[in-house]
Structure 1
């Protein structure tokens, strides 16, 4: 089976599962290792931002891959921060972080992943493999 077919069938099969989850999951849960989950997510974001910057600085096209993954992580972080926040100050802080940091960074990452603002060896003759890019 072709990968496109597997993805299509899998995506379609998950639609009824979403309904099951929405109807059966409790609205609250007590979980262990909550701190580890959030530190792990933020650590992945740090790794993604730093690796995207380093790859792009070298003119390496693989920065688009790390940018795409990092953008997705930032959107997930914004989503879970806001939907898990307690009403009041905690929710206000989560919304502020989402609007002022996570979502704008996700937009930058998405633009880089899609090739906007290109700065690669193929586009810029000042960039050569194995050398640091020159300043503009």
Structure 2
């Protein structure tokens, strides 16, 4: 799996869908930044072995970074987007799983809405970007 020649040398510039997906990923990643402040302020801090605020804020910060980096690599036609997109898809799916399985009864609706309207669709986009960028895949 050769990623050293990181820039795709396909014909022409990236297509309209690729540019749109790139911009959407960057915007989604940047939109998470204010959410990190909300999370940091409203989650129970905890100490000792369970530090929920650090765990959730850290997970969402990694998702934000992954979305932005994947979007930027996609815009450049950089083959390394395969790696960042796959990792980001896994992080988003994990976040959806933990949000829905740890939500209290009163928070379940919000957790399911976030999972099905934000985290899982973004994970699907990232998975698609990763699959389409696999080295050796016919273009």
Global fold match (TM > 0.5): yes
Q: What pairs up with 1:62-101 in 2 under 5 angstroms?
A: 62-88=80-106, 90-101=107-118
Match of 2:66 among 25, 36, 48: 48
SS of the residue 2:77 aligns to: coil
Provide the C-alpha distance between the structure 2 equivalents of 1:70 and 1:45, rounded to a whole number of angstroms: 6
List gaps (5 residues or longer) in structure 1.
1-29, 124-136
Alignment TM-score, normalising by the size of structure 1: 0.61
Q: Give the Cα separation in 2 of the matches to 1:45 and 1:64.
A: 15
Aligned-partner Cα distance in 2 for 1:40–1:34:
10
Counterpart CA distance in 1 for 2:49 and 2:113 is 25
Residue equivalent to 2:22: none
Alignment TM-score, normalising by the size of structure 2:
0.60
Aligned residue in 1 for 2:124: 107
The root-mean-square deviation of aligned C-alpha atoms, in Å, is 2.1
Per-residue deviation at 1:86?
0.1
Which stretches in structure 2 are left out of the alignment for 5+ residues?
1-47
Three-state SS of the structure 2 residue aligned to 1:87 is coil
User: What per-residue deviation string (whole Å, max 9, x for no partner) do you get for residues 76-118 of structure 1?
Assistant: 0000000000013x110000000000000000000011007x9
The list of structure 1 runs, each at least 4 consecutive aligned residues, that deviate by more than 4 angstroms after superposition, is: none
Question: How many residues were matched structurally?
Answer: 89
